[in-house]
Structure 1
Amino acid sequence: MKVNVDQGRCCGAGQCVLIAPEVFDQRDEDGIVTLLEPSPAEGLQAAVREAAAVCPASAITIDDDQ
């Protein structure tokens, strides 16, 4: 799994950080998502998929070919 975030699309809702804090964080100055772990361990992948699904801006994408 390879995770990508589009900071230009992010609206700063923060749901991703609540669901998968090991993978996502937010910038202090504006709340925009930052990616901590682009290739999360198998144990985190379900949470990452949930975070992508609930993102209101669709700023998180997942590439399963990686």
Structure 2
Amino acid sequence: MAYKITDECISCGACEADCPVGAISAGDDKYVIDADTCIDCGACAGTCPVGAPVEA
């Protein structure tokens, strides 16, 4: 199951930089995760300072 980014996102970009498969990109008001590309590794959750990435 892929991760998703909650409204807690502060758009710092830490998750995007740590995603090994490039599944994360900047959206209109927060970062978003492409569920089809996400490999459910949790790297984004481990690097986010506010815990915005969560398992979907």
TM-score by length of 2: 0.70
Cα deviation code 1:19-54 (max 9, x no counterpart): 116211113x55x2112225624xxx43xx121111
3-state DSSP of counterpart to 2:55:
strand
Partner of 1:18: 17
Contact 2:2/2:35, CA 8 A, preserved across alignment = no
Between 1:15-24 and 1:53-62, the stretch displaced more is 15-24
Contact 2:23/2:38, CA 8 A, preserved across alignment = yes
Instruction: Give the distance between the partners of 2:2 and 2:11, measured in 1 at CA.
Output: 21
TM-score by length of 1: 0.62
3-state DSSP of counterpart to 1:51:
helix
Instruction: Give the distance between the partners of 2:37 and 2:2, measured in 1 at CA.
Output: 5
Aligned-residue CA RMSD (Å): 2.3
After TM superposition, the runs of 4+ consecutive aligned structure 1 residues lying more than 2 A away are 37-41
Higher helix share: 1
Q: How many residues were matched structurally?
A: 55
Partner of 1:50: 43
Partner of 2:33: 35
